[in-house]
Amino acid sequence: MARRSKKTRVASLHDESYQRLVELLVQRRRATGKSQQVVADELGWNQSIIAKIETAQRRMDVVELLRIADVVGFDAIKFMQEVRRTMVSAGELSG
């Protein structure tokens, strides 16, 4: 199996796949009608953290995603499967 170059292994806030993940996350939040402030309040976070995640100024880790999914009300596993499908469709992952 060929190794990927270091450049493709390094995650970036500006990576197209990460941008799609963020877009899907924002869609989920907006679909519930919850504001960034409401989500932040329910998490005990500052609203600016949600804003930075949603504008890809701050990377979100898996634990944060699980917490956001719980507050917003979506299944994080199904969400990640959807993100994976978009990556496969874009040719960024093998199917």
Residue 52, pLDDT score: 97
Residue 95, pLDDT score: 77
Q: pLDDT tens, position by position, for the chain (95 residues)?
A: 445 545 555 567 778 889 999 999 999 999 999 999 999 999 999 999 999 999 999 999 999 999 999 999 999 999 999 999 999 998 888 87
The correct CATH number of 16-89 out of 1.10.260.40, 1.10.760.10, 3.40.50.1970, 3.40.50.720 is: 1.10.260.40
- Least Cα distance to 89 among 22, 26, 17 occurs for 17
Residue 12, pLDDT score: 76
In whole angstroms, what is the distance from residue 73 CA to residue 66 CA?
Answer: 10
Per-residue HEC secondary structure of 21-76 comes to HHHHHHHHHHHHCCCHHHHHHHHCCCHHHHHHHHCCCCCCCHHHHHHHHHHHCCCH
Place of tokens 């199917």: 95
